[in-house]
A = this chain, B = another copy of it.
């Protein structure tokens, strides 16, 4: 479709209409299912498929409902939300929102991969009130300030997404200065050291190549390369036994590695079903393997981006349905667990493991 109608300066109703017009072309997909579940759950839609003819009514409903002062509260309630994890830029002041509800999390892609850009360096200088950050000692001091700021404001994790060929190891300051790749490894290693010192879990989202489809919309450009291995992180996992690594992967092939690494490494935890793996066919087989081989206390069942609050409900419902089916098929029908035990397993994956690992009170 023509991307020009997707820009902010298009009239919102025109934008909605343009998208709806194309909806029928992918009404087979999981993404479409999420959309229909949103309009049914939150906008009072009662049909099974949305057509262009529903556009005006849906927009009217959305405007009316979302203008209600307690709409956030309503969505929060209907989606059974307790806490929601953000990913915040490293220079986020972390003010203006309820950090007990919206849990801050230090997103570090910019630091590891873009600190050579003057504007990113400038942001870091400003956020830490430090200069001369090309000096590795100073840089470490800056990271310390960020971790201090974030943990004081309730941050519960450090997070980063990593390309398929990333293979971190300790490097010297001299190596960091000489080579951008070594710089990334060195800075990443310092982040792990701070996670250890500040007792934060480190969320690793492994395998994404950025800007592959050059003309794609924002978040519609990235893809992966299946030729990657968790063995690239063996040094890291060995070096930081006290840091819990919550690992997300992009393919079912690498999920088998993740299952095996979580089986062997005490500090590696399975984390959700990320991005291109976030469809029922892959969730189901990846989940089955995790449930059969990874200790139940080491699995965070699900998480997903929710650019809008309403997005949480259909995504978690999709996961819950698959989890229910897998528990029924692999644990109840095989008599490996009672219903009460299966429910406990579900609760660990959906809630209790996350609360324990991210140290939520």
Contacts and interface: CB of A to CB of B under 8 A. Distances in A.
Number of copies of chain A assembled together:
3
B256 A282 contact: yes
Interface in A71-130: none
Interface residues of A, number: 68
Contacts of A253: 226, 251-253, 256
A306 B338 CA distance: 29
A280 B330 contact: yes
Nearest to A261: B223
Interface of A: 25-31, 33, 48-49, 209, 212-216, 220-231, 234, 237-238, 241, 251-254, 256-257, 259-261, 263-265, 276-277, 279-282, 285, 288-289, 291-297, 330-331, 335-338, 341, 345
A30 B293 contact: yes
Contacts of A335: 48
Contact of A282 (B225, B227, B280, B289): B289
The 8 lowest CB-CB distance pairs between A and B, nearest first, are A26-B295, A281-B288, A260-B276, A281-B289, A225-B231, A28-B296, A225-B229, A279-B292
A48 B30 CA distance: 38
A221 B295 contact: no
Given A223-B264, A256-B253, A276-B259, A292 B212 contact: no
A97 to B, nearest CB: 32
Nearest to A349: B28
